[in-house]
Structure formats: C-alpha cells, structure tokens
Amino acid sequence: MLPATLVLTCTSSLSAAHRCIRALTAVQAERGAPQLYTAVTRRTCSSVTAPRITTHYTIRPRDKDPRWEGVEMERFADQADVVIVGGGPAGLSAAIRLKQLANEHQKELRVCLVEKAPQMGAHTLSGACLEPSALTELFPDWKERGAPLNTPVTEDVFNIFTKNHRIPVPILPGLPMQNHGNYLVRLGNFVRWLGEQAEELGVELYPGYAAAEVLFHEDGSVKGVATNDVGIAKDGSPKDVFERGMELHAKVTLFGEGCHGHLAKQLYKQFNLRENCEPQTYAIGLKELWMIDEKKWKPGRTEHSVGWPLDRHTYGGSFLYHLNEGEPLVALGFVVGLDYTNPYLSPFREFQRWKHHPFVAATLEGGQRIAYGARALNEGGFQSIPKLTFPGGLLIGCSPGFMNVPKIKGTHTAMKSGILAAEAIFPKVTAEEADSETAGLHVPEYAESLKSSWVWKELHSVRNIRPSFHNPLGLYGGMIYTGIFYWILRGKEPWTLKHRGLDAHQLKPAKECTPIEYPKPDGKISFDLLSSVALSGTNHEGDQPPHLTLKDDSVPVARNLAVYDGPEQRFCPAGVYEYVPVETGDGMRLQINAQNCVHCKTCDIKDPSQNINWVVPEGGGGPAYNGM
C-alpha cells in the first residue's frame, strides 16, 4: 500500500504527480516477468479445474466480493489542462502542436499523455509507408531534427498472385498504390522520435500507465481518465501490493487509443457517437521483419500483392518493403479483412502460406526472421467515421478511423487529426472564461475543421473502393470499379456504397464451410505460432485477472465451438484462445492464455457472439516491439 497521506492528498502540483508515479513504479517493480505459454504449461493448466474463466472486476464487481472488504479504494487525483490517451502518431502530434501553440502565445499549458506501452513506440506496429504531409506541417525542419525517415520510395511493384505465378499490374499516376514522395519507415522508431520531440517541448509523458476508465462530471461530461489498478491476483483478489490507479482530470480529454480502443467503445455508447454512421469494419495485419541476403536487397522498393492464397471473396493483400537501415532489412506483412465468412480461416497461417509463393520465397530464402507482430486496422473509411466530439472530449487518429484503405496508409491522416484537434481546443483551454455549457469543454470546432481539411477530401474520394469488393466477382470486380470510378472519375461518383455490417456477424456456421488444410511450417520460411509470438517480446504479469474478459463464460463452448468450431483459436494471431478437454468427464472448455496477447484487438472485433471484451492489463504489459 502507498502511505495514507499520498493516497488521500489530492493536488494539482507536478511534484505530487511525480511522487505518485514513482510509488506506482515501485509497486510494478515487485512483480516478476512471466513467460509465454508452452505445451508444458498448457498441459499443467488443463489439469486444474477453474470455477470460472473471467475474474476481472469489470465482470465480477468488487463491491460484491467479501475479499475486498476494508481495502482502501481512494485514488490520487491530479489536474491538467489537457489529457491525451494514447502515445501514437495522433496523440503525440496533438501534444506537440498544443505545446507549440502555447510557446507561440506565451501561455502556460499542462499537457499529460498516458500510454500503456512501457516505452513510446513499443506497442506500435504498421507497414509502414509514410506519407510525410502532416509531418511537414508539424515540423517543417523534420530532416534537420533527425526524423528516422531513412528510406525514400524508389520503386513500386504491384502483382496479382496465383498459386505459382504473378500477373504484374502497372501502377498508373494517381492510383492509390503510387508511392512517389513517400518513405518506408519503422513506425515504432518514428513514434519514439515524436515522443522525444514532445518531451523537449514540455509534454508530460507517462508510458507504462494504461487508461482503464473514463471519468465523468455530474453533468455527464468527461472529466478525465483513471489509470488501471495494480496488484490484483489472477483470481480477482487483492494482493498485499495492491494499489489503486490515479485519476487525471482535464478541461478536455483526447482519446487516441488506436484501432478499436476500449475506452472509445464506452464513449460510443455513452454519447451515441455511432448513431449516424455505418458500423466500423476491420482487418488484421500480421508483420515480420527479416534480415535477407544483401544481394537480394533493393532499398526503397515496395511490393504489394492481392490474390493467392486468399480466394476472390476474401479481402486482403500483402506488402514487402526493402528498408534502408544500414543493413539488408525487409518488412513484410499480410492483411486479411475481418469480414471473411469461413470460420476455418486462420490469418496467421494464410500469412505463413503466402511467404512460400515463388516471388516472395526468392527474397526470403537464406534470410533470418527477427521480429513478429500483429494489429487490427480500421477499414470502414469515410462511411464509418463516428461523431468526433462530445462534452469534455474528442476522438483522434485510428480510434475513430481515418485510414485510407486503398493506400494502406493512416499515419498521415491520424497525425493531421491530432494537429487539428490541438488547434481547435487551444483557444478554449487557454481562455480566461470557459465558453462551455458543461464542466468538460465541448469543442465541436474540431469536427468542423476536419471536414474542411484535406483528410476529409481524401477519405471521401476513396470511400467506395473497399465496399466495392462486395460483388459477385469479388476482388476482380473491386479492381474494375477502382479503375473506372477512382482513376478516371477520382471518386466523384454521386453515390456512396455501404459495407456489409459488423464483421462479427459475417461468419457462416462451420457446417456450411469447408475446412482449410494448411501446410506445416518448414521452420525456414514459415513458422509455428508460439515461436512467432516469442519474437514479439510479449510479456504480462502472470498473476493478474485475464484482460480478455467474457461477458458469459458459458458462451464459448455452447455457441462459438458448437456452431462455428471455435473460430477464436484461429483468428487470434498469438495463441491466446484454445479449446482443451475438461479435466473430468467428456467435453471441452475454453482456455485463455492471456500472457500471449499482442493487443491486436481482433478477438473483440471478430467474436461471432460479441462475448469477448478486451480491457487493458496492468500497465506496461503487452508486446515489446522494436521498431515495428
């Protein structure tokens, strides 16, 4: 426990906040590092009968649990002008722009940013081919500042794959896959650099502290956030080192959690933000880094493909980028739309199979895989953008979803949204008298400025490309539509196509589908799941309630396994979910290996029963990506 004086003292001073942070850090340091689940530990866990799967307090309230009687639940509170949730490109761009404006106008402005990763960029994963437009707006001198954009694109290659051959497709000027002027980057390194720029400007960064709860004023407006509690045992009981999280209050809170943020999900419901937009649709992106034979290395070359191994009715594609990082490094990945219908499909195994295509294998043979990871991404585009502002807060970046799907780029639009958010809220948070009907400031000007920016124009122009895929010809029909209505008409057609609906509702029952036979990994080009997860550096405190919570523990076996043959054991790219025999009698049970979770959010999105709710684990847990 922290001293009672620290727990009960509520102050807005910076030194007090730092004392609280140091105390929480000391608690975290007492915990040991867990290991990935292996076959041995799975057998061990299978032999223990657990009375329930979900023990997290969001499902099992603590006020009804006698083990929590008498436990001190007071939280330290601190006050800032602006609190930002999420240290990705959007959140950091907003923080930087706010401090730039404060310095230009000689205003005192306290900006605090919380990030669940232990270091800035450690949970960041993207291709990534970066369009530098927003970066140039933020830092016109980014080259002089040493931004890690080391690889300008020199060559674009686009192919349609069949099983053993490829059909080259010319990339005409103006098509989305034309990358002249863009840079191949390791986005985690870029985010770390943005963090350094933010700190130099005076932004307070708090990596390793996950925002777990939205706080509200009595009038219903957002008050701020609370970081997660630490020191809770796996069975949901308090440990001796239990400590409450801290509250961060602000005039306005920016939510930039990334794709499918768990707090954004709450805000959608609280303020009905998705009332006038279509449901978001998603994809899962899987990525590896390889060191290859230097003779095969072509720095600046981008390679994209569609087609095999996916059928024409399953949306997806690949990328392979030759980076110029002083060594023969390539980033490669595979994207699968999460509106696929066959429950037997495994995105991870499709990725491993894709690497055996002769055109890809020729690059990888003789090389060494050095990193692996996965992340969900927004694909809904223009049609799926929710209402962006509400009393006390607003949504930025990939949380609401500003990705340009045909370009496979969202960093530039995410950064621009953060810049526009900062410029909209700055006059209000620095005004001597608040111009707001609620305690938490409402800033509708942000949405207005976004709609008049190049972000809105860009997303509107490509709005029909992704949904055009849903036609009898599938992939080929979508390509024809893109060629006619985007390349020729530049997206000016007077209609807007619709998506299918929630990705979770697209799976067909297993009895209506054909099982997919995947080849065994060869250990040279393709690999098994657990050895892949080991390369992600994933690490969670083992003795904590699983952060993959179930609303109803009976649903996985009764519905997901019975109807869909347990699709969570295939769509998860980290081996978190598996069905194992019950310890006594016949039947199966779901086992959740939460330590393996790479925070991709796919389970929360694709679960056909919408029974899985992803919440943040103890701060600092998750993957440890190094420049992914």
266 is written with which tokens? 């709450």
302 is written with which tokens? 């981008």
126 is catalytic: yes
CB atoms within 10 A of CB 583: 11
Instruction: Report the amino acid identity of residue 46.
Output: S
Q: Which residue has 């619709």 as its token pair?
A: 498
375 is catalytic: yes
CB atoms within 10 A of CB 620: 23
Catalytic residue among 349, 375, 463, 570: 375
15 is catalytic: no
Q: Do 532 and 372 contact (CB within 8 A), yes or no?
A: yes
Catalytic residue among 482, 532, 600, 602: 600
**H or E element in which residue 240 lies:** strand 238-243
Catalytic residue among 363, 384, 411, 461: 411
Catalytic residue among 112, 129, 398, 603: 603
**H or E element in which residue 192 lies:** helix 187-201
Q: How far, in Å, CA of 24 to CA of 321, rounded?
A: 40
Nearest to 386 by CA among 467, 281, 276, 460: 276
277 is catalytic: no
20 is catalytic: no
Catalytic residue among 126, 384, 526, 549: 126
Nearest to 414 by CA among 172, 10, 90, 144: 90
Contacts 24+ apart (CB under 8 A), 60-66: 60/236, 62/236, 65/236, 65/237
Instruction: Kindly give the pairing relationship between strand 77-85 and strand 111-115.
Output: parallel
Nearest to 3 by CA among 68, 69, 72, 70: 72
Catalytic residue among 20, 112, 129, 597: 597
300 is written with which tokens? 């600046």
Q: Which residues pair with 377 in a beta bridge?
A: 283
Catalytic residue among 55, 572, 589, 602: 572
Q: How far apart, in Å, do the first and last CA atoms of the chain sit? A: 37
- Please list the active-site residues: 126, 375, 411, 572, 597, 600, 603
